[in-house]
Amino acid sequence: MALTLEQAQRVGYTCLKALLRFAFMVANNLVAIPSYVLYLIVLQPLRILDSKSFWYIEGVLFKWLLAMVASWGWWAGYTVVEWGDDVKAVSEDEAMVLVNHQATGDVCTLMMCLQDKGTVVRQMMWLMDHIFKYTNFGIVSLIHGDFFIRQGKAHRDQQLVLLQDHLEKYYWSRNRKWIVLFPEGGFLRKRRETSQAFAKKNNLPFLKHVTLPRLGATQVILKTLVAPQENGTPPGGDAVRKESKSKGLQWVIDTTIAYPKAEPIDIQTWILGYRQPTVTHVHYRIFPVKDVPAEPEALTNWLYQRFIEKEDLLTHFYETGAFPPPQGQTKAISREMTLSNLWLVAIQSFAFLSGGMWYCLFQYLYHCLF
């Protein structure tokens, strides 16, 4: 069917906008990421003299980088509405964040909606698939101390050992607060069929909007980061924890991401902005870590229950367009998450000015040497 003039103009405008956004994103990456790396190279003496101040500065730069990613979606009209518990109340405490996983845009959504949660973004640690290491942002995550986990049964036991070692080495020494993971171990569309077959075989609930989570990483994090008095087991790296005055994990934040019509946003859409403005909905529920069982079987049941609840939340959302009210209440309260355009412009300007500064500096050094 032939396009009308109006449709052709709309398609042309969308393509032009996507091309310009992509060009801006490439330029943004070319100045922001190298600048982040170069600033931290120059600050290596401070890392030796005052490690705490070095990682504070690194955290600020890391937060700005994530804000730049958030700005790509924000300026395309991809906004967030938050429901459930107010996580700002625990933003200065240590917490494990459990998130359902539908698409690559989930990470971008979290980068956006956590920007206004105090010091969370600069002091958080991410657990992500190892393939992310080889993306443009991989060098940033490596420096920041995020953990790249390799999926598959053949690697599972080794990866859990490496995760525990990583937490003991980097979590307290870099003053981390929140640790974010996706317990499903992959995207919904890739794991749903396998998860449903496993559920049927083991007489577990049939889930459509989430998959049954995997226990391994959650168990290692709780075992390693929860203080002894919380679950009766000594965490690894206890000496480092005491030196950093950490109280250990205090909360588990069960986070559920919902997209209108169950159509998730992927990273390509986030970058190119070809989808119409969309509101993503994020629901939080906070659990004290003392209420989370430590024994493997009980922890597995507890974790399964969280994802069964996610299934109920998402079913209600897709049927009504809203999350259900908390138990004992008649109305659910939502909050629009906002970002300051002035602040986003300021950090984007800082990135491009930094890129120009480093370019001029290297040009000067080149002429001096040659």
pLDDT digits (tens, 9 = 90+) for 11-46: 778 888 889 999 999 999 999 999 999 999 999 999
DSSP 3-state of 78: strand
* Averaged pLDDT for residues 94-108: 94
* Averaged pLDDT for residues 102-108: 92
Q: pLDDT tier at 131 (50, 70, 90 boundaries)?
A: confident
pLDDT of amino acid 326: 84
Whole-prediction pTM: 0.90
Cβ neighbour number for residue 194 with a 10 Å cutoff? 12
pLDDT in tens, 197-251: 999 999 999 999 999 999 999 999 999 999 765 444 444 455 555 555 667 899 9
* Averaged pLDDT for residues 147-154: 81
pLDDT of amino acid 289: 95
Residue listed under structure tokens 């393509």: 15
How is domain 5-227+247-324+331-361 classified at the architecture level of CATH? Answer: 3-Layer(aba) Sandwich (3.40)
| Residue 153 scores a pLDDT above 80 | no
Q: Are 27 and 355 in contact (CB under 8 A)?
A: no
* Averaged pLDDT for residues 55-70: 95
Q: Are 148 and 222 in contact (CB under 8 A)?
A: no
Query: Residue 262 gets which letter from DSSP?
Result: G
- For 136, phi then psi, to 5°, come to -60, -30
Contacts of 292 (CB under 8 A, 6+ apart): 222, 231, 252, 299, 302
The side-by-side arrangement of strands in the sheet containing 178-181 is 147-149, 124-129, 178-181, 95-99, 251-258, 278-288, 78-84, 334-337
pLDDT of amino acid 207: 94
> Per-domain residue ranges for the chain?
5-227+247-324+331-361
pLDDT of amino acid 230: 46
- Which among 179, 188, 233, 243 is positioned nearest to 213, based on CA atoms? 188
Contacts of 273 (CB under 8 A, 6+ apart): 17, 18, 21, 72, 73, 75, 76, 77, 78
| Residue 138 scores a pLDDT above 60 | yes
Higher pLDDT, 351 or 118: 351
pLDDT of amino acid 332: 84
| Residue 273 scores a pLDDT above 80 | yes
Amino acid at 293: P
Give me the chain's average pLDDT, please: 90
| Residue 363 scores a pLDDT above 60 | yes
pLDDT of amino acid 235: 47
* Averaged pLDDT for residues 297-312: 95
- Which among 73, 110, 114, 67 is positioned nearest to 90, based on CA atoms? 114
Q: pLDDT tier at 127 (50, 70, 90 boundaries)?
A: very high
Q: What percent of the chain has pLDDT over 90?
A: 72
Burial zone of 154 (CB within 10 Å; 0-12 exposed, 13-18 middle, 19+ buried): exposed
* Averaged pLDDT for residues 326-353: 91
| Residue 72 scores a pLDDT above 60 | yes
Residue listed under structure tokens 């996507």: 18
